[in-house]
Amino acid sequence: MTVIAHLIDGEPHNGTGASLDVTNPSTGEVIRQVACADAATVERAVAAAKAAYPAWRDTPPAKRAQVMYRFKQLLEDNAERLTYLVSEEHGKTLEDAAGELRRGIENVEYACGVPELLKGEYSHNVGPSIDAWSNFQPLGVVAGITPFNFPAMVPLWMYPMAIACGNTFVLKPSERDPGSALAIAELLQEAGLPKGVINVVHGSREAVDALIDSPDVKALSFVGSTPVAESIYTRGAANGKRVQALGGAKNHAVVLPDADIENAANTLMGAAYGSCGERCMAISVAVCVGDETADQLIASLEPKIAALKIGPGTQKGLDMGPLITAEQREKVLGYIEDGVKSGAKLVADGRGLSVAGHEGGFFVGGCLFDAVTSEMRIYREEIFGPVLCVVRVESLDAAIALINAHEYGNGTCLFTRDGEAARRFADSIEVGMVGINVPLPVPVAYHSFGGWKRSLFGDLHAYGPDAVRFYTRRKAISQRWPSSFETTHAEFHFPSGGQ
């Protein structure tokens, strides 16, 4: 059976750790294995990145950008192969995988502009014969720990900008679907990146711990669950690292009585059930203002949920594939059972779904709960499955208060035709990413992605302008070249501008 190796100093490396199974979630069958890094393997990757750093740091930004241009082209040329890899290992549909890859490529395009993004500031004659300027310099070896749900896109949030800024990188992708992350890193090397600038290690907790504890890793980016994000942030910061750790979410869509209900229902279908709900930006709660609004929305959603085309992700023309693992399916089924026991009304029940020819796959159909309250576990916690909860409130103010009281603040949206209500919602809501009639308000590559509250630990968001700041540090320089006719004398007061 094929074993997915680590990529260290430009070469495949099997390491000294054990191997883990990689399963096709559409069939439940093991399709390959992945090498599992121990601490020694991780340190070997970090050492390779450290050795490659001085020469890469001194490479002009324009030449770094040229590598990114070639990388972008290779990603586009290999899109069909990469899309299939994502779908085969994750289970998401081919169309969804293609969309994920396109969003990742957008971040490579943004990194191509790094010569402009790294321009500092300059001031002439801030004092007698004194000029001052600042520039942005790389940190050194940086690392990324990425989740299973976007195996191609999330790594591309991180290392293109980190590398374009002059850092070297160690990536630890999810061990559940590592194939596309490795294939994409190999394309970056094919684009002309020197050996050791990008390294990939696979594995689980031991590999993560080694990255957190390595003194040569200067910064960590993480995307995953909130408990792990908080732990990595706390431990990484205690080790003196710069850390951005993106955690969980419980994203609400507010539907006002004046909204186009059919349009809201259509867009909520994709936002709630796309990728089988395994998205940190998935809409998992519809907050309906008024019983009539809720009744209309549910009446529109029910037949659409029943008509979902569900099957193996690698089959074209589907709406939804399986969940990533058998364990994740059991977790989601447990949440559904808990919702029923707590008194929520299960309007659409996706349990017991079997796909002909793929009976061993990890499938759950679309589920819809009504009469959900804020005390219920299915409301409070992130389910990460194809489950949409309807909560009924009496006013927009009540909807805003409900969302603001939740521990997560990742994404939200409002469906309305009322501009005043939309403006008030956008201003008042304590959430990092807001959509107005846009159910998945994921920022484009030249903005930055990140939530508030317990959805993000750290000061800077992912990709976009914040990525430049995260992967660099500012250096301020003051320089004096006095004229030959100038005389100097000792000054004992603290210097100020213009003196």
- Nearest-angstrom CA–CA distance, 94 and 318: 8
**Cβ count within 10 A of residue 21:** 13
Which residue in 280, 367, 389, 413 is the catalytic one? 280
Domains of the chain: 3-247+455-477 (3.40.605.10), 251-436 (3.40.309.10)
Instruction: Report helix, strand or coil for 34.
Output: strand
| Residue 320 DSSP symbol | B
Q: Which pLDDT belongs to residue 142? A: 98
**How far lies 381's CA from each of 191, 248, 315, 338, 480, in Å?**
42, 9, 32, 12, 59
Residues in the chain: 499
pLDDT tens, per residue, the chain with 499 residues: 799 999 999 999 987 778 999 999 999 999 999 999 999 999 999 999 999 999 999 999 999 999 999 999 999 999 999 999 999 999 999 999 999 999 999 999 999 999 999 999 999 999 888 999 999 999 999 999 999 999 999 999 999 999 999 999 999 999 999 999 999 999 999 999 999 999 999 999 999 999 999 999 999 999 999 999 999 999 999 999 999 999 999 999 999 999 999 999 999 999 999 999 999 999 999 999 999 999 999 999 999 999 999 999 999 999 999 999 999 999 999 999 999 999 999 999 999 999 999 999 999 999 999 999 999 999 999 999 999 999 999 999 999 999 999 999 999 999 999 999 999 999 999 999 999 999 999 999 999 999 999 999 999 999 999 999 999 999 999 999 887 766 667 777 777 765 5
In the residue annotation, 367 being an active-site residue is answered as no
User: φ and ψ at 237, to 5 degrees?
Assistant: -65, -40
Take residue 373 and report the two structure tokens written for it: 């309250």
* Residues facing residue 388 across a β-bridge: 368
- Nearest-angstrom CA–CA distance, 45 and 10: 10
Instruction: Determine contact, residues 458/249, Cβ cutoff 8 Å.
Output: no
Take residue 495 and report the two structure tokens written for it: 């210097």
Tell me the whole-structure pTM to 2 decimals: 0.95
Give every CB contact of residue 229 below 8 A, 6+ residues apart in sequence.
Answer: 222, 223, 245, 246, 247, 248, 456, 457
CA nearest to 173, candidates 163, 188, 192, 159: 159
Please compute Rg for the chain using Cα positions. 25
- Sign (positive or negative) of CA dihedral 273, 279, 281, 285: positive
Instruction: Report helix, strand or coil for 177.
Output: coil
Q: Which pLDDT belongs to residue 498? A: 56
Take residue 130 and report the two structure tokens written for it: 């004194």
